[in-house]
Structure 1
Amino acid sequence: MYWNQKYECLPLEKLQELQLERLKATVERVFYNVPHYRRAFQEIGLEPGDIQSLEDLAKLPFTTKDDLRENYPFGMFAVPMSEVVRLHSSSGTTGKPTVVGYTRRDIDVWAELMARALVCGGATRNDIIHNAYGYGLFTGGLGIHYGAERLGASVIPISGGNTRRQVMIMKDFGSTVLTCTPSYALHIAEVMEEMGVSPEELKLRCGIFGAEPWSENMRKEIERRLKISAVDIYGLSEVIGPGVAIECQEKNGLHIFGDHFLAEVIDPATGEVLPPGQMGELVLTSLTKEAFPVIRYRTRDITAILPGECPCGRTGVRIARITGRTDDMLIIRGVNVFPSQVESVLLQIGGTEPHYQLIVDREGSLDTLEVQVEVSESLFSDKVRGLEELERRLRLELESTLGISVKVTLVEPKTIARSEGKAKRVIDRRKL
């Protein structure tokens, strides 16, 4: 099922023609309207006319989050403020937030992309969409909201928090689609169990989850506990917000909407473009943004472009699910560690709840990793020997997967702080 079959299933040759036409226009627009890009192009002796093929994309300089911060708040805008009808920004957890702007047409395009994404993820105009993404400066809530309205579905703009009330409203209003972060979906499932509300009492049939990396095992856990089909959605405020890519019902990679975005995967150390199938850092170029176009934006998200076609018929590039980020990747004793690797092991072995934290510290000159994980209620009241055996199994499996020694600490149920948005998985004390 498609929202806009003409563009979602555009023959590859036609899609590439459209991409090149839009890339040329975007490069010209940023050269003449954004001082940062003009300087960056001139430093390498590049002019807009030098872009004559999609392969020429590699000639363009990268854009990083530091570039956005250095031009805070509105220095990267390509239109005057009189044409900007909406402002969003990142959380700004590391320094100044990044600020993004939208023209009226940008908002219209975003709504179109989100309608496509919702249909791709399994929603229809007959659904009641329970939108528990955060509203406000975060792009998640309003992005999903406008897409749901464009689709013609009923949307409940409930945002995050007050989880017991969320469960009551899902039950009373007959919500059929849940949209939120995967960690919050699990928290909802946990609160439902506390309230004695079974999934069978709800009408939920599918969930569209994103804003943080999550493993395949976490998908299975969400699907098991909520009795729904769960798909992964991807986006970032710097590029547009949610709606850059999403899984279809095949669940074999996320479809990037190629008529609006160009995707590359690079070696994060060298900047070299990698072939399909190789893991690296995702780089995105916007093709239709008016207020805040980005050229080769380094997302820091780790993925791969997937070879081959999808049975669903969509023709754009597919990417593998995000496994982590180059900037939340932990380097412990020279080994790269992603929280999603730990999560996958914990859920695979069982006996624990899907709530955990990684605590990285330094003893003398040696880095240490402790994984704190909640034990399931049934096991916590069990014999000590059972807990010791679970701890041993988890430690051995984690050490085998990660390639470093790990301390595993089993903690009581409900002792690790819950998140209504992106889960805080890592406490790195080496920086304190």
Structure 2
Amino acid sequence: MSAGTPLDALAARTLGLAEGFDRADLARGQGARLRETFLWARARSRFYRARLAGCAPPRSIEDLAALPFTTAADLAADPLALVCVPQDEIDRVVTLETSGTSGRPKRLFFTAADQEITLAFFRCGLSQMVARGRNVLALLPQGRPGGLGDLLGRALRALGARVRFAEASPDDDAFRRSPPDLVVGAPVAVLDLARRTCGCTVRAVLLCSDRPPEGAARRLAAAWGCETFEDWGMTEMGYGGGVDCRAHDGRHLQEGDFLFEIVDPATGRAVPDGAFGEVILTTLTRRGMPLIRYRTGDVSRFLPGRCACGSPLRRLDRIAMRSDGRVGPHGGVTLGEIDDALFGVAGVIDVRGGFRAGTPERLRLEVVAPGAAADLETRLTAALDGVASLRAARAEGALALELAVVGGASAPARGKRCLHVDASA
């Protein structure tokens, strides 16, 4: 059996487990931390004091399902009610704009110790990709202290790597003269750079901040000969949730610091491994603003069985969609489905767009493809016909498709993208 993933040792240290722990050992360690989190939150948080009133403290992770969910609306309604420490212990506050909670932003609070949890995860995950003395190009803003770029930079420097941040697209000639060992960035930004610098040798790529389109790793390997890693995380959890190992068969989850569930979005009941549902997370070690059974809105599944690397940690499949991310007629479509269809067309580096209400509804897509061939629009339309809901809606006249191809240089998106919805007819 292989050596597992560096996250195994992190989970063991966090939960006080012996080397070579199994799922039963992990469950016992998580159960103890779950009880601690429950008691801490109920004693110190106004929100959880009310929400958990009448709930018995869990004795094991099997008791988790009896506890109520926490939602994005709760984080927006009164975020300070979830805070469990004095304000002078809060080291970072993050405000997230959202359209899903009546337009009110979510606010998240982290102590310095909470951010150390993320740093430990980043160091473990990145240790598979880069070694001391290697060069890293991060296609991200370095940002404020405690932000994603800052934490990634601190983790990389702790590993002895040299990191350079590039908010704007780097100079192609300079990249060719001295390609980095590791490139980190959002999928569309990295894919665009790989297209422009095809033939350079890059050791590894980490795709972060957004869902990678199907086949991204193959395209990057063809351009740079690199190994591609994908992470999953969200701001609510401090960015670090999971990252794949060198077997590249799902993202190993950070199960020392979080307890994860997959539930049916409609019923809230757990689904079996291999079935898709909404990802639910519970923090096990956070003290500033713990979250108990937080509904992430991300839809994915636990991959059944053990990874080829030998790790006992669960693996999360690629995020399929947001639980509220299916829009449009005939059952709707997600940006992920559109991405998977259109990024398979040679030359496409970015896709943007959205729906506009009316009869029929209109789906307008702007496809960025520098140096586009004359038949590109025909190939794009054919690719979209492979998405069943779009094909059916167009056949019935319920949907009109508008394609705009941008052939010149256009800066690709660097963060999470979405399908915009214009409700005005």
Superposition TM-score tier, normalisation by shorter sequence = 0.7 to 0.9
Specify the SS of the correspondent of 1:148. helix
Is 1:346 the counterpart of 2:339? The answer is no
Distance 1:378 1:414, change over 3 A: closer
Superposed, which structure 2 residues align to 1:282-321 within 5 Å? 282-321=279-318
Task: Output the CA distance in 1 between the equivalents of 2:143 and 2:243.
Answer: 22
- Answer yes or no: is the 8 Å Cα contact 2:333–2:390 preserved in 1: no
- Answer yes or no: is the 8 Å Cα contact 1:183–1:422 preserved in 2: no
Specify the SS of the correspondent of 1:85. strand
Aligned length in residues: 406
- How far has the Cα of 1:304 moved from its partner? 0.4
Task: Output the CA distance in 2 between the equivalents of 1:163 and 1:176.
Answer: 17
- Answer yes or no: is the 8 Å Cα contact 1:335–1:403 preserved in 2: no
Specify the SS of the correspondent of 2:393. coil
Counterpart residue number, 1:236: 234
Specify the SS of the correspondent of 1:377. coil
Specify the SS of the correspondent of 2:341. helix
- Answer yes or no: is the 8 Å Cα contact 2:258–2:284 preserved in 1: yes
Superposed, which structure 2 residues align to 1:179-218 within 5 Å? 179-190=184-195, 193=196, 197-200=197-200, 204-218=202-216
- How far has the Cα of 1:118 moved from its partner? 1.2
Give the % identical residues. Answer: 23
- Paired AA for residue 143 in structure 2: G
Is 1:178 the counterpart of 2:183? The answer is yes
Structure 1: any 5+ residue segments left out of the alignment?
381-385
- Answer yes or no: is the 8 Å Cα contact 1:239–1:293 preserved in 2: no
Counterpart residue number, 1:360: 355
Specify the SS of the correspondent of 2:385. helix
Specify the SS of the correspondent of 1:149. helix
Task: Output the CA distance in 2 between the equivalents of 1:146 and 1:100.
Answer: 21
Distance 1:186 1:392, change over 3 A: closer
Superposed, which structure 2 residues align to 1:132-143 within 5 Å? 132-136=139-143, 139-143=147-151
Specify the SS of the correspondent of 1:179. strand
Distance 1:226 1:93, change over 3 A: farther
Out of 366-375 and 55-64, give the one that drifted further: 366-375
Distance 1:188 1:24, change over 3 A: same
- Answer yes or no: is the 8 Å Cα contact 1:372–1:409 preserved in 2: yes
Match of 1:75 among 68, 71, 81: 81
- Paired AA for residue 280 in structure 1: G
Is 1:119 the counterpart of 2:117? The answer is no
Structure 2: any 5+ residue segments left out of the alignment?
12-19
- How far has the Cα of 1:56 moved from its partner? 0.5
- Paired AA for residue 183 in structure 1: V
Task: Output the CA distance in 1 between the equivalents of 2:69 and 2:93.
Answer: 23
Is 1:413 the counterpart of 2:407? The answer is yes
Specify the SS of the correspondent of 2:82. coil
- How far has the Cα of 1:153 moved from its partner? 2.4
- Answer yes or no: is the 8 Å Cα contact 1:127–1:176 preserved in 2: yes
Distance 1:393 1:278, change over 3 A: same
Match of 1:64 among 53, 67, 71: 71
Relative to the length of structure 2, the TM-score reads 0.86
- Paired AA for residue 301 in structure 1: D
Distance 1:368 1:399, change over 3 A: farther
Task: Output the CA distance in 2 between the equivalents of 1:427 and 1:415.
Answer: 23
Counterpart residue number, 1:35: 46
Counterpart residue number, 1:268: 265
Task: Output the CA distance in 2 between the equivalents of 1:392 and 1:343.
Answer: 13
- Paired AA for residue 150 in structure 2: L
Counterpart residue number, 1:163: 169
Counterpart residue number, 1:383: none
- How far has the Cα of 1:257 moved from its partner? 1.4
- How far has the Cα of 1:290 moved from its partner? 1.2
- How far has the Cα of 1:254 moved from its partner? 0.7
Is 1:426 the counterpart of 2:419? The answer is yes
- Paired AA for residue 363 in structure 2: L
- How far has the Cα of 1:404 moved from its partner? 2.9
Superposed, which structure 2 residues align to 1:85-100 within 5 Å? 85-91=91-97, 95-100=103-108
- How far has the Cα of 1:281 moved from its partner? 0.7
Task: Give deviations 1:95-136, integer Å, cap 9, x for gaps.
Answer: 34323233232222221111112134x233343222223333
Task: Output the CA distance in 2 between the equivalents of 1:388 and 1:100.
Answer: 43
- How far has the Cα of 1:374 moved from its partner? 4.0
Provide the aligned C-alpha RMSD in A.
Answer: 2.7
Distance 1:235 1:316, change over 3 A: same
Counterpart residue number, 1:18: 29
Distance 1:59 1:169, change over 3 A: farther
Distance 1:93 1:362, change over 3 A: closer
